[in-house]
C-alpha cells in the first residue's frame, strides 16, 4: 500500500487482510494475552523490569506471524495506534467467537473453515 489509509473504518478491513491466516491471528492472541498478563504482574508487583518482557511476548509472537507466516510487514510500523487498537479488537472478537463475520466482510476469511451446512428437514 503506497497511500495512507485515512480512516479507521478503512483500516480495520486492511488489518484483517494482513492477518488472513489463522496461525497469525492465534500468535497475536497468545502474544497479546501473555503481554497483558506480564504487564499486569509488573504493575501490581511494582516490578517495572518486566515491561520489556511483556513487549517482547506481544510483539515477538505477532511479528513471527507477519514475517514468517503472512510474509508481510506489520501494520504497526505505519499505523501504530490503529494497529494497537485493532490487536485488542481482534483479541476480543476472537475470545467471544465473533471474528468470522468481520473476516468475511474484509475478504480475509479465505482460511476460515466452511460454515456448517444447514440441516435438511425431512
Domain boundaries, the chain: 8-107
**Structure confidence at residue 3 (pLDDT):** 86
Q: Which three cell numbers stand for residue 103?
A: 473476516
**Structure confidence at residue 104 (pLDDT):** 94
Q: How far apart are CA 15 and CA 27, in angstroms?
A: 15
For the chain, the helix, strand and coil percentages under 3-state DSSP, each to the nearest 5: 70, 0, 30
pLDDT band at 119 (very low <50, low <70, confident <90, very high): very low
**Structure confidence at residue 118 (pLDDT):** 46
User: Residue 1: which of 15, 63, 9, 40 has the closest Cα?
Assistant: 15
How does DSSP classify residue 115? P
Mean predicted lDDT score pLDDT of the chain: 89
Q: How far apart are CA 25 and CA 87, in angstroms?
A: 9
Task: Give tens-digit pLDDT for 76-86.
Answer: 999 999 999 99
**Structure confidence at residue 108 (pLDDT):** 76
pLDDT band at 120 (very low <50, low <70, confident <90, very high): very low
Task: Give tens-digit pLDDT for 51-88.
Answer: 999 999 999 999 999 999 999 999 999 999 999 999 99
Mean pLDDT of all residues in 26-48 = 97
Are the C-beta atoms of residues 12 and 79 closer than 8 Å to each other? Answer: no
Amino acid at each position: 500500500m503506497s497511500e495512507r489509509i485515512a480512516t479507521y473504518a478503512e483500516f480495520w478491513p486492511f488489518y484483517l487482510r494482513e492477518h488472513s491466516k489463522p496461525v497469525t491471528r492465534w500468535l497475536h492472541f497468545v502474544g497479546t494475552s501473555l503481554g497483558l498478563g506480564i504487564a499486569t504482574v509488573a504493575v501490581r508487583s511494582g516490578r517495572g523490569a518486566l515491561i520489556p518482557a511483556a513487549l517482547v511476548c506481544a510483539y515477538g509472537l505477532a511479528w513471527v506471524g507477519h514475517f514468517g507466516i503472512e510474509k508481510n510487514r506489520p501494520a504497526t510500523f505505519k499505523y501504530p495506534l490503529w494497529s494497537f487498537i485493532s490487536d485488542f479488537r481482534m483479541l476480543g472478537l476472537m475470545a467471544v467467537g465473533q471474528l468470522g463475520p468481520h473476516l468475511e466482510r474484509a475478504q480475509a476469511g479465505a482460511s476460515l473453515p466452511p460454515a456448517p451446512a444447514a440441516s435438511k428437514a425431512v
